[in-house]
Amino acid sequence: MSQSPAFVLNVLETPEDPEGQEPSPYDESEVHDSFHQLIQEQSRWVAEEGLELQQRQPETGALGASGSDHETMLGPEGAPVYSMATLRILASMPSRTIGRSRGAIISQYYSRTVKLRRRAGRPQLRDMGRSARPSLRLYDLELDSAVLEEEEKRGLLVKELQGLTAAQRDHMLRGMPLSLAEKRGLREESRPPRGKHRAQWHRGLLSCCDQLRDSCVLASHNLGLALLSGLQALMPWHYALKRIGGRFGSSVLSYFLFLKTLLAFNTLLLPPLLAFIVGVQAAFPPAPTGPVPAFTGLELLTGGGYFTHSVMYYGYYSNATLNQPCASPLDGSQCTPEAGSLPYSMPLAYLFTLGAAFFITCITLVYSMSRSFGESYRVGSTSGVHAITVFCSWDYKVTQRWATRLQHDNIRTQLKELLAEWQSRQHRRSACGQLRRVAVLGLVWLLCLGTTLGCTLAVYTFSELMIKSPVSAEREAVLLLLPLVVCLLNLGGPYLFRILAALERHDSPVLEVYVAICRNLILKMVTLGILCYHWLGRRVGTLKDQCWENFVGQELYRLMVMDFIFTLLDTLLGELVWRLFSEKQLKRKGKPEFDIAGNVLELIYGQTLTWLGVLFSPLLPAMQIIKLLLLFYIKKASLMANCQAPRRPWKASHMSTVFISLLCFPSFLGAAVFLCYAVWQVKPSSTCGPFRTLDTMYEAGKVWVRRLEKAGPRVSWLPWIHRYLVEDTFPIYLVSALLLAVIYLNIQVVKGQRKVICLLKEQISNEGEDKIFLINKLQRVYERKERSRSSREAGQSQELSVLTSGANLGPVFSVKCGRGP
């Protein structure tokens, strides 16, 4: 096997131009002129024969005995082949600095220290020219410098470093691309002798107090590092998420990250409810209105019975003030506090705590969505991401075997996803294929919408049937029928959608997941809309003399419990049983894939139920937290045992952003509209809850304002804020306009950044084209000189041959003339 030709570049020391100053990278004109000056300077050095390029023959044999230098320099296939003079100039370009030897690095940094000392006004020790070895990928070029010359340069560099200040010396050493041992050696050698003796004397006179202080500082530093590592270890499911991402890719990982996000939202929502509503009411329990039923265990499914007379539901909370001796009245009247006092009002605490909790959740959700948008849709392009993943993804701090294996799997999965995404962009359909695909898509969408309409009619019909046939307290198990029907439809609908999606044959798995999410979202949101109408539009009228808030809270509790049970059944039957059946009966080796769309919509559906029911059952966020914790471990175990990685890998770069957006707009916004309607428009029950005797829940705020007006002038500003900032609609419109203006300005800023980046990329491209143009010019000039020199040499050789032939023909002619007849 032939070896590529290797070259040795001998770089001689040349005097540095005292007038030449290194141009600043921030001075655009000097940067543009530096390339021209560099070419002139290097051309002058070439003319003076300061550089010598020698071809090194491989040990296996010579490449050729004859031929010009231009002919022996053969590059790889498709690569441009330049002359030696062009390569000499390329070797001195500032951008060709990768892969230089230690001697070149020391020489370069010696020149930098000389310039730095010259700027500071210090005397210069010695002038020394620049030397650099090119890092051309297509040719094997290296410096042919002796060890003594390198040591001499090192000594000069040490002398120059000694003349710098300590800060400048440390900054220069940190910037050198050398190993730590070499930097440490240069630092020790460049330290002034007086500083060395002083350091040794100071080390010898360290007192016990100084040693104790250093030990305390070191111990505190180690303690801080230990605490940081402990905090990282306390992050929930840190290793589990890494393992899932490395084995199944970012698409499956996005589901578990979204589950973790929902857990954070519920953890943020629960503490204020426990502190200001549940805890306070548990500390001051109201007087019981009747006998409390015993716990039978059926309450865990139905949510009724014993739970009805606990802090679980809205009806248990009183409308009394809790910091003065006032018993809960049985006639429905409200306790009246003393004049001038501001007691802890339970209705006010209930309303304001829920409002503040929802407001904090809204701000957090919007912030999470904006940050997710910023991470997913960055301003810059993703060109070169393959090279970045290959060369820059490995973490060299990883030393353990399991960590290296996990990181290896993660990088391999990322490369699969990137390549699959690139291949999906290359595929194009014909016109007939596109028309056929549009027809199939239209048919499938009609079938899916028809299925959704049928499920909606079934839920509406069954809810009306439940209203016409009231259920007594002894038959609470019958109330599970409506949640059972809803969960069956929510479970069967996605399976039917998946069967219909097989007809579409999407080219991109990302598009397939998005379409499945859209169809499942329409089904679940329409079903919840029918249920909301059933609760606030129908049940409120039929339960006039009862606590309809408790009934709505129990319905939402039953829906959450049945949803969790059906999720477990889906995991058991859809993943475990199907894997066993396919392996034992169908003799298939492949495992089922993880259904990302269905599982994500289950999470969004469960979180929507939590937000809808937090007004009627303040402990629903706690149930949701328990449910999410169980779901994580169950889904993780099922994923590892029963599922395989997607057959078509795809990169879920925007998946988390889509999940957060769906959680914000259809889910949270719909729950907020439902609760606002219940607070502002629906009349509360007159027999239970903190808002009895009021026309609406919102009137609790007006009652509080009237009490503040009677409390005295110290709190008179609070009624003013309520009157002009809450009841008046103008501040709301003003804040909305300001918010829209800020959003518009941010959009314009992002557009401007994108335009600037495009201009900078175009400028970089033009700079590269300018360099190519100049290099080609140099190549043509060199080729003309080579041709002229070759023609001159050819003419001289012809003249010499003519003269030689003439000299040889003279004696022959004379001999022939002498042998005449």
Distance separating alpha carbons of residues 483 and 462, to the nearest angstrom: 10
Residue ranges of alpha helices (H) inside 121-207 are 147-162, 166-175, 180-190, 193-204
Predicted pLDDT of residue 635: 93
For residues 557 and 617, the answer to whether their CB atoms sit within 8 Å is: yes
Higher pLDDT, 671 or 149: 671
Residue 137 tokens read as 């990928």
Buried b (16+ CB within 10 A) or exposed e, 560-579: bbbbbebbeebbeebbbeeb
Contacts made by residues 125-130, CB under 8 angstroms, sequence distance 24+: 125/156, 125/159, 125/160, 125/163, 126/156, 127/15, 127/16, 127/18, 128/13, 128/16, 128/153, 128/156, 129/13, 129/14, 129/15, 129/16, 130/14, 130/16, 130/92
pLDDT at res. 46:
46
pLDDT at 215: 79
pLDDT confidence of residue 93: 58
Tell me which of 109 and 812 has the higher pLDDT. Answer: 109
Identify the DSSP state of 473. G
Instruction: Give the mean pLDDT of 126-151.
Output: 47
Q: Give the lowest-confidence range in 283-297, 559-573, 713-727.
A: 713-727
Q: Are 655 and 261 in contact (CB under 8 A)?
A: no
Least confident range from 176-180, 218-222, 331-335, 445-449: namely 331-335
Give the confidence band of 663 by pLDDT, cuts at 50, 70, 90. Answer: very high
Is residue 737 scored above 80 in pLDDT? yes
Identify the bridge partners of residue 11 per DSSP, sorted by sequence position.
51
Contacts of residue 93, Cβ cutoff 8 Å, sequence gap at least 6:
35, 38, 134
Residue 567 is predicted with a pLDDT of: 93
Q: pLDDT tens digits, residue range 360-412? A: 999 999 888 888 876 766 544 455 677 777 777 787 777 778 778 878 887 88
Query: How many whole angstroms separate alpha carbon 411 and alpha carbon 406?
Result: 9
User: Which one-letter DSSP state was computed for residue 497?
Assistant: H
Write out 296-328 in H/E/C secondary structure. Answer: CCCHHHHCCHHHHHCCCCHHHCCCCECCCCCCC
pTM for the structure as a whole: 0.68
Residues 147/207, Cβ–Cβ less than 8 Å: no
Pairing outcome for strands 6-11 and 140-143: parallel
Give the best-scoring range by mean pLDDT among 393-397, 709-713, 760-764: 760-764
| Lookup result for tokens 């009806």 | 315
Rounded Cα distance between 536 and 113, Å, is: 80
Contacts of residue 366, defined as CB under 8 A and 6 or more positions apart, other chains included, come to: 664
Partners of 140 in beta bridges = 6
Mean of the pLDDT values across residues 656-683?
91
CA distance 707 to 746: 43
Q: Greater confidence, 671 or 292?
A: 671
Q: What distance in Å separates the CA atoms of residue 232 and residue 238, rounded to the nearest whole number?
A: 8
Q: How far apart (Å, rounded) are the C-alpha atoms in residues 191 and 184? A: 11
If we measure between CA atoms, which residue out of 421, 416, 414 comes closest to residue 389? Answer: 414
pLDDT at position 820: 44
Q: What is the spatial distance between Cα 344 and Cα 9, in angstroms, rounded to a whole number?
A: 87
Work out the angle at residue 45's Cα, subtended by the Cα atoms of residues 114 and 159, and round it to the nearest 5 degrees. 20
> CB under 8 Å to 512, separation ≥6 — which residues?
501, 504, 506
Pairing of strands 51-56, 6-11: antiparallel
SS3 for 610-623, per residue? HHHHCCCCCCHHHH
CA-based R_g, the chain, Å: 41
Rounded Cα–Cα distance for residues 562 and 300 (Å): 11
Q: Residue 10: beta bridge partners?
A: 52
**Res 379: pLDDT:** 46
Q: What is the pLDDT of residues 618-633, one digit of tens each?
A: 999 999 999 999 999 9
Q: How far apart are CA 102 and CA 797, in angstroms?
A: 47
Is the pLDDT reported for residue 508 higher than 50?
yes
Other residues' Cβ atoms within 10 Å of the Cβ of residue 90:
20
Cα dihedral across residues 501, 502, 503, 505: positive or negative? positive
CA-to-CA distance for 246 and 276, rounded, in angstroms? 43
With H, G, I as helix, E, B as strand and everything else as coil, classify residue 56.
strand
pLDDT at residue 455, as a whole number:
94
14-23, 230-239, 352-361, 670-679: segment of lowest average pLDDT: 14-23
pLDDT band at 555 (very low <50, low <70, confident <90, very high): very high
CA distance 494 to 735: 41
Give the whole-number percent of the chain exceeding pLDDT 90: 25
10 membership: H or E segment, kind and range: strand 6-11
Mean pLDDT to the nearest integer, 115-120: 56
Mean pLDDT over 77-99 rounds to: 56
pLDDT at 88: 63
The interaxial angle of helices 509-532 and 655-662, nearest 10 deg, is: 10
Which segment, 140-154, 471-485, 672-686, is predicted with the most confidence on average? 672-686
d(C-alpha 330, C-alpha 333), whole Å: 8
For 519-543, the pLDDT digits (tens) are 999 999 999 999 999 999 888 888 8
Residue 479 to residue 482: CA distance in whole angstroms: 7
Helices (H) and strands (E) in the chain, counts: 28, 3
Residue with tokens 């003013």: 720
55: enclosing H helix or E strand: strand 51-56
Alpha-helical runs (H) found in 48-165: 69-72, 84-91, 102-120, 147-162
Are residues 590 and 582 in contact, defined by beta-carbon separation less than 8 angstroms?
yes
The partner residues of 8 in beta bridges, in order of sequence, read: 54, 142
Q: What is the pLDDT of residues 344-362, one digit of tens each?
A: 888 989 999 999 999 999 9
- Of the two residues 350 and 783, the one the predictor is more confident about is 350
Q: In what order do the strands lie in the sheet with 51-56?
A: 51-56, 6-11, 140-143
Distance between CA 509 and CA 254 in Å, rounded? Answer: 15
For the segment 579-628, what is each residue's pLDDT rounded down to a tens digit?
888 777 776 767 888 888 889 999 999 999 999 999 999 999 999 999 99
Q: Read off the pLDDT band of 8 (50, 70, 90).
A: very low
Measured CA to CA, the distance from residue 750 to residue 674 in angstroms comes to 35
pLDDT tens-digit series, residues 27-48:
444 434 544 554 555 555 444 4
Question: What pLDDT is attached to residue 131?
Answer: 39
Q: Is the pLDDT of residue 747 over 80?
A: no
Residue 431 pLDDT level (bands cut at 50, 70, 90): confident
